[in-house]
Amino acid sequence: MEAPFTCCKTKECPNVCCMQCLNIFHFSCLNRTQRMTKIEGHKIICSQECARQKESNDDQLNKLFEEVGKLKDDIKTKNGLLEELEVGVVNTRNFKDGINKLHKENRQKDVYIQRLKRVSISFEEDVFSAEQNYIKKLDEQKQTIAELNKELIKQTELNRHLMTEVDSKSAVEEWLQKDLHDLEISKQNMLKVIESLSQENELFTTELRELRNKNDIIKTKSERTSNTIGDEILGTER
């Protein structure tokens, strides 16, 4: 059991070294005790005591390796959890951003709805006041027409009376005829005024009807828009 030196490969080394107590022996001295265990080259275990200790150290070393392996696995698992946690944190942050954005959108929609409602109310008020004006004007026109009709009846009666007068009194015939002519013209004029006022009345009535229709349409639109936006908000909150 002799092997060469590591530095001078041609020379044989007569000594051996115990891998447990690290003591150096002559190979021949130790071989005589018959308690030596050979390992490889100059590496030996010198006694049974060293053999027991080596076995125990090996066991401990194996256990340590096992522990290190477990710790490595543990670190791997924890790293995985940490990665999942980081993803979770990022997701939570994105979720919060999304919720904030939705809140902001909802606020903008509320403002839009309020504005639509205000526009609708102010338009309704305008239509109502225009309607009141037209009704007042219509009443006034009706009254004027009634008065003119009364006047016309009076004039017609007067005409008839004058005609009788003309028939009976030929002396004043010329003078009366002139008067009659003037009265006739006045009557024609009055009829024209009544005609034009009646037309104007019809025009007012038509405009009033159109305004009411428009108002109804705008009301429906406003309600529909308000409902739709309300639904959207409910949808996003769900």
Candidates 21-29, 72-80, 149-157, 185-193; binding stretch for Zn ion (CB under 5 A): 21-29
Candidates 18-26, 138-146, 156-164, 212-220; binding stretch for Zn ion (CB under 5 A): 18-26
C-beta of 56 vs 227, nearer to Zn ion? 56
HSE, CB side, 13 Å, CA atoms: give it for residue 3.
12
How many residues sit in the footprint of Zn ion (CB under 5 A)? 8
Give the shortest CB-45-to-Zn ion separation in angstroms.
6
The DSSP call for residue 30 is: H
Dist. CA 32–CA 227, nearest whole Å? 108
C-beta of 41 vs 124, nearer to Zn ion? 41
Give the shortest CB-18-to-Zn ion separation in angstroms.
3
Give the shortest CB-72-to-Zn ion separation in angstroms.
34
Dist. CA 116–CA 119, nearest whole Å? 5
Residue list 23-82, contact with Zn ion (CB under 5 A): 46, 50
C-beta of 30 vs 208, nearer to Zn ion? 30
Is 171 among the residues that bind Zn ion (CB under 5 A)? no
Is 21 among the residues that bind Zn ion (CB under 5 A)? yes
C-beta of 38 vs 192, nearer to Zn ion? 38
Is 8 among the residues that bind Zn ion (CB under 5 A)? yes
Dist. CA 91–CA 168, nearest whole Å? 114
Q: Token match 């999304």: residue?
A: 98
User: Do the bridges between strand 15-18 and strand 43-45 make them parallel or antiparallel, or are there none, so unpaired?
Assistant: parallel
Give the shortest CB-33-to-Zn ion separation in angstroms.
11
Taking Cα atoms as reference points, which of 202, 198, 185 lies closest to residue 149? Answer: 198
Dist. CA 44–CA 70, nearest whole Å? 32
Q: Residue 16, SS3? A: strand
Per-residue burial over 111-139, b if 16 or more Cβ lie within 10 Å, else e, is: eebeebeeebeeeeeebeeeeeebeeeee
Q: For residue 122, give Cα distances in angstroms to 48, 126, 190, 225.
A: 110, 6, 42, 17
- Among residues 16, 18, 30, 44, which is the contact residue for Zn ion, using CB under 5 A? 18
Candidates 13-21, 64-72, 93-101, 167-175; binding stretch for Zn ion (CB under 5 A): 13-21
**Residues at the interface with Zn ion (CB under 5 A):** 5, 7-8, 18, 20-21, 46, 50
